């Protein structure tokens, strides 16, 4: 029984991370029809903002040396400003371009940011001691669970509830939903395109900063590609859930997380190295059965 609870906790924790990244991708895609692969580098730069630029494997802490009440807003500020800068300098001039051009632009921004981090910090992984107090286990229902997993699940739950409240109860959230439904009609009704898109990038930056902090707490390491795999899995999650559907993105994130953990737990030891390939295969099978995704938003139906 304890083993099942542990597997469930692992799946929810990993699914929570994927759901947050998938929601960040889905928010930008909803208002701009842009799949922003630079989201991976937002996560990476948010993590590297914790340390002083150096080539050392054990760097000196920068924002990571601040109290939590200042460290978390500081990392969020760095990442949201970065997200806004990329939107203003790279994506806004191409806003009327076709989706393929926007996609190539996001890859170009991603490669630029990745090499910028490499120039400043070098490509060597770094060891960082953030949130060491959360490494200990906490007993829940008779099962000892790592504190960082409990933190991940709690933070994800709070952000998901806050996002639902924002989208349904605030004027800006309603405008974003309207823009996702029909951007041109929303603009004719007075919705300001620049503001809505900027807010979407700000929210994607907040989620990227949150994921970067959670990853550092869980792994204790910094790597220039640390945001890559979460974004790839989150992209698959958005496809599974239904492109343009935020509930679908969150659902897809948890599905991918559960599949990944179950394969890790039940595959023979000699096959666990191929766990990711198994995840991708199951994603393909899901899409063969339901290529439009599990949840199709109304705007997508109208475009079809």
- What's the token pair of residue 208? 């990227």
Give the whole-angstrom CA distance, residue 201 versus residue 225.
21
pTM: 0.92
Burial of 276 (0-12, 13-18, 19+ CB in 10 A): middle
Give the whole-angstrom CA distance, residue 21 versus residue 68.
22
Whether 87 has a pLDDT exceeding 50, the answer reads yes
Using an 8 Å Cβ cutoff, are 125 and 56 in contact? Answer: no
What pLDDT, in 10s, does the model give residues 165-176?
A: 999 999 999 998
203 torsion bin: left (phi>0), alpha (psi -120 to 50), beta (else): alpha
Instruction: Cite the beta strand spans of the chain per DSSP E.
Output: 126-127, 137-140, 143-146, 221-222
Predicted confidence at residue 302, as pLDDT, reads 42
Whether 55 has a pLDDT exceeding 90, the answer reads no
Give the whole-angstrom CA distance, residue 63 versus residue 66.
5
Range name among 60-64, 95-99, 214-218, 255-259 with the lowest pLDDT average: 95-99
- Cβ atoms < 10 Å from Cβ of 133: 8
Which three-class secondary structure state does DSSP give residue 61?
Answer: strand
Cα–Cα separations (whole angstroms), residue 234 to 36, 173, 243: 11, 22, 12
- What's the token pair of residue 245? 């559907």
- Backbone phi, then psi, for 61, in 5-degree steps? -70, 145
Mean pLDDT for all residues in the chain: 88
Whether 1 has a pLDDT exceeding 70, the answer reads no
Give the whole-angstrom CA distance, residue 15 versus residue 157.
11
- What's the token pair of residue 45? 């730069």
Using an 8 Å Cβ cutoff, are 15 and 236 in contact? Answer: no
- What's the token pair of residue 246? 């935020």
Which three-class secondary structure state does DSSP give residue 145?
Answer: strand
- Cβ atoms < 10 Å from Cβ of 203: 24
* Count of helices and strands (H, E) across the chain: 12, 4
Res. 113 pLDDT band, cuts 50 70 90: very high
Nearest partner of 221 among 67, 73, 51, 15, judged by Cα: 51
Using an 8 Å Cβ cutoff, are 146 and 137 in contact? Answer: yes
* DSSP symbol at 124: S
Whether 300 has a pLDDT exceeding 70, the answer reads no
Res. 142 pLDDT band, cuts 50 70 90: low
Whether 299 has a pLDDT exceeding 70, the answer reads no
Whether 25 has a pLDDT exceeding 50, the answer reads yes
Mean pLDDT along residues 149-160 = 92
Reported as half-sphere exposure (CB side, CA atoms, 13 A), residue 158 has a value of: 8
Res. 38 pLDDT band, cuts 50 70 90: very high
């Amino acid at each position: 029984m304890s083993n099942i609870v542990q597997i469930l906790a692992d799946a929810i924790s990993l699914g929570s991370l994927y759901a947050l990244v998938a929601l960040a991708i889905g928010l930008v895609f909803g208002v701009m029809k842009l799949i922003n692969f630079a989201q991976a580098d937002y996560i990476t730069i948010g993590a590297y903002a914790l340390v002083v630029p150096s080539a050392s494997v054990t760097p000196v802490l920068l924002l990571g040396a601040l109290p939590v009440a200042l460290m978390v807003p500081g990392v969020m500020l760095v990442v949201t400003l970065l997200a806004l800068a990329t939107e203003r300098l790279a994506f806004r001039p191409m806003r009327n371009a076709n989706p393929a051009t926007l996609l190539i632009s996001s890859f170009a921004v991603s490669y630029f940011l990745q090499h910028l981090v490499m120039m400043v910090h070098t490509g060597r992984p770094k060891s960082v001691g953030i949130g060491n107090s959360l490494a200990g286990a906490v007993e829940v229902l008779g099962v000892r669970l790592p504190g960082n997993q409990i933190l991940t699940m709690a933070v994800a739950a709070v952000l998901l509830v806050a996002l639902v409240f924002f989208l349904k109860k605030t004027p800006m959230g309603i405008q974003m939903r309207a823009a996702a439904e029909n951007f041109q009609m929303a603009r004719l009704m007075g919705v300001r395109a620049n503001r809505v898109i900027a807010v979407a990038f700000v929210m994607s930056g907040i989620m990227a900063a949150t994921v970067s902090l959670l990853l550092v707490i869980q792994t204790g390491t910094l790597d220039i590609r640390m945001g890559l795999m979460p974004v790839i899995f989150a992209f698959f999650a958005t496809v599974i859930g239904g492109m343009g559907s935020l509930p679908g993105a969150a659902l897809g994130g948890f599905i991918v997380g559960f599949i990944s953990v179950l394969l890790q737990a039940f595959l023979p030891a000699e096959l666990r190295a191929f766990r990711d390939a198994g995840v991708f295969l199951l994603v393909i099978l899901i899409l063969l059965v339901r290529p439009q995704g599990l949840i199709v938003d109304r705007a997508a139906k109208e475009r079809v």
